[in-house]
Amino acid sequence: MGILRLKQHLEPFLEAVCLHDRVHSTPGLATAQHVVIDGPSLVYHVYHRLLSWSHPDLCYPDIQPTCDEVSHGVMLFLLHLTSLGVTIEKVCFDGALPPLKQSTRLARLEKTRKRLEAFRISHSGCLSTSLVPERMTVNRWENVLQSRTLPANLALVPENHFIVPAVYEDLRHRWSKENILEALPVHSFLRVAANRLASLPWADVTIMVPGEADVYCAHFAKENDCLILTNDSDLLLYDIGSSGSVILVSSMSLAHTYPDNSITAQGICPNTVARRLGLESLIPLAFVLQSNPRIGMGELVRRSKIVDRAPDPPPGYSQFLKEYQTSPSILVDNIGKRYPQSLDTRVSEMVAQYLYPETYSHDASLSIYLVMLTEDPKRQCAWLQGRVIRVIGYSLFNLTQPIDKRHKYIIEHIRRGGRVTCDMIALDNQSSLSAEIQSLLDQLDVVQAKTGIEVDCPVFWRTFALYTIFGLQTTPKTPNLDQLKRLLAHGSMSNNLDWDDVHVLAQIQSVLYSLRILKQLLGISEFSDRQTTQVSAVLAHLPPLHVLMRSVHEMKKESAILPGKDAINQAILLWGGESSDDHGRRERSRVSAGGTQPLKSGDPRSTYHNPTATSRTWPVRPQNIFELLSNQ
């Protein structure tokens, strides 16, 4: 996660590096021919570089680089390295973080929450209009190798927290030779290199490691004599060999010397710098800096030498040192056979707590850290939508484990009001789980049967998400048919996108990602009964993440072509309902063991229901699609 200001202090020791094969090396410059890449670091670098190149007239959310754009950018980055003869040995992604990083990650979640809160305050009204010219957003990923400082006015733009799993998935499954050639401009010089690629050029080298990517990058680099591409200063502290070097991804840029088109960058050899400073390694320097981030370089070196040469280490130093002396629990070459490779990082981390409880379980409890959604921080956390679906996945996987490894609860780390907190959620037993799965199947059947939309279509899944959110929750703010049609087609319920729209979109993302969590946990569970087989069959059609999390302007583009337009018309107008702004109220009740219990709007239990156990009073004329669906 990096030591604050460490890279800044070491800037005088940076050396120029050229990423190229040795045959075409640049005189006077070190050459990087074999590299291992810190996956998340590269993804966020591409994201921020694309953000810096966004059209100045764009507003949020159109200015935010999408999962698809970042994925294109990473593809272009790797393809350019390949075209220069650079061998990409591994691209490592975090599969779990140790418990000792809990305070750091919670601090980062809180920082993200405060950033969203500040953005909400500074953008209290309309965020963007629906009339964004396509030229403002088309192919900005082509600028990924062009260096540019991020404008100060973009510092508060909320980050897209689904980009890392989207890129990981695409490197393994999407970016085939054919898809790469289709994505490249017709006259791109990279088409020559693309034509020489294997079918899925980066699928085998892209790995989800059972731990931090740092550890595996460092170990692989030392064992295979290759350089590390990252922006994470932590990698300067691991043992990467006497001549091992770290290349800062943020320093990489295209030289524009056609036909050479080489990439120049700046790198640092930690061992060389440590020797020049009179230290055994850079770990004492980082330890002192962590406690004194504003200290000057001269004083920093002086104190570091004291720590380095002290017969008895100062308090906390042994633990700090241990963090950077960790060895991989599985050899890199065996990871694909011994650790699941089909999971997103957050899901992988939960699974790691079962597989390696002594390493990744915190206080013997089961935890999952959900990303901070871009939502309205003044309203209830959007992650509450879809929780029932996630609990099905958690519970299914839990029941596949030996009895002594099972948990009764899982802790979800999410936003609650103005803070990040822990929600302890009970996991289902076999009987209650069966009822929840059947309820989910019923809901999916209703949406598919009543709309007729193919389950391969993204509009089907967004319609299901909206049905989940609004289906049993009629309030004065429930969208009418016209608003729902606009929401599915344009991502907003009126011409201007406001915070009501942002929050509904976040709730949609919550439901869709919850389905993805369920799909992934089903994929590595050993249940094979009728219900789980049916759910797995439906979820097999869930689109990849770069489609599932399409942005507002991508939804507009999708709805402008015939298949998307037809699907939206099916979702809204198939039942012959008329749009209306006049919404009545209706009471909802749920029969429980103790009798009839009203459910409050937003109660996660109100998302799913047993139709035979629910009593409803409907208006004479249904007012929106979800009343229509529920009334069938």
The answer to whether the CB of 461 falls within 8 A of the CB of 542 is yes
Six-digit token string for 509? 């993302």
pLDDT at 342: 95
Six-digit token string for 190? 């990279």
Q: Is residue 358 part of a domain?
A: no
Same domain, 271 and 416: no
pLDDT at 577: 44
Q: Is residue 308 part of a domain?
A: no
Same domain, 55 and 168: yes
Same domain, 378 and 272: no
Six-digit token string for 351? 């699974």
How many residues in total does the chain contain? 632
Six-digit token string for 427? 């996991």
Share of the chain residues as helix, strand and coil, in percent rounded to the nearest 5: 50, 10, 40
Question: Could you read off the pLDDT of 529-544 as tens digits, one per residue?
Answer: 899 999 999 999 999 9
The answer to whether the CB of 491 falls within 8 A of the CB of 552 is yes
Same domain, 262 and 390: no
Q: Is residue 421 part of a domain?
A: yes
Residue that finishes a domain, picked among 259, 277, 295 = 277
pLDDT at 5: 92
CA-CA distance, 454 to 460, in Å (whole number)?
7
Same domain, 524 and 383: yes
Number of domains present in the structure of the chain? 2
Same domain, 238 and 369: no
Same domain, 267 and 375: no
pLDDT at 22: 61
Question: Could you read off the pLDDT of 401-434 as tens digits, one per residue?
Answer: 999 999 999 999 999 999 999 999 999 998 899 9
The answer to whether the CB of 177 falls within 8 A of the CB of 194 is yes
Q: Is residue 350 part of a domain?
A: no
pLDDT at 595: 31
Same domain, 270 and 382: no
pLDDT at 450: 87
CATH number of the CATH domain containing 47:
3.40.50.1010
pLDDT at 328: 82
Q: Is residue 167 part of a domain?
A: yes
Print the domain residue range for 584.
Answer: 365-631
Q: Is residue 116 part of a domain?
A: yes
DSSP E strands: which ranges in 503-561?
A: none
Same domain, 256 and 373: no
pLDDT at 131: 58
Q: Is residue 302 part of a domain?
A: no
CA-CA distance, 49 to 251, in Å (whole number)?
11
- pLDDT lower than 70: segments of the chain: 1, 22-28, 126, 129-140, 256-260, 472-477, 573-632
With the CA atoms of 398, 403, 404 and 410 taken in that order, what torsion angle do they form, in degrees rounded to the nearest 10?
A: 20
225: left (phi over 0), alpha (psi -120 to 50) or beta: left
Q: Which residue has the tokens 């302890």?
A: 424
Same domain, 583 and 450: yes
Q: Is residue 446 part of a domain?
A: yes
CA-CA distance, 224 to 281, in Å (whole number)?
21
Same domain, 58 and 206: yes
Residue that finishes a domain, picked among 244, 277, 310 = 277
Residue that finishes a domain, picked among 277, 294, 322 = 277
Same domain, 482 and 585: yes
Q: Amino acid identity of 1?
A: M
Give the DSSP H/E element, type plus range, for residue 34: strand 34-38
